[in-house]
Amino acid sequence: RMEIVGKPDEIPEVQKEVQKEVDKAEGKSWPMIAVERYAFYERAKQAYCVIQTGERRFYGCFAFRKGVVPPDAE
């Protein structure tokens, strides 16, 4: 998640909502790390895929990393 300029420890509501969904999907707390604004932009430049949404709130910027997703157990 992109950290708020001048307030790196503050978490806006839009980020709290995404954190709640991440935790729900993982079945446990999986805290996101804060990335300074310009460092976030540099990461975004290296992204494989960028998804633009209609979200209009400030700091609704996230970078997700996909790992290995194992097949369902039989």
Is the pTM higher than 0.95?
no
Domains of the chain, first to last: 1-74 (3.40.1650.10)
Q: Where are the alpha helices (DSSP H) in 10-69?
A: 13-26, 37-45
In angstroms, rounded to a whole number, what is the distance separating the alpha carbons of residues 2 and 14?
A: 11
In angstroms, rounded to a whole number, what is the distance separating the alpha carbons of residues 19 and 11?
A: 10
The answer on pLDDT for 74 being more than 70 is no
Least confident of 7-11, 28-32, 62-66: 62-66
In angstroms, rounded to a whole number, what is the distance separating the alpha carbons of residues 42 and 56?
A: 21
Entry field: residues in the chain = 74
DSSP state of 2: B
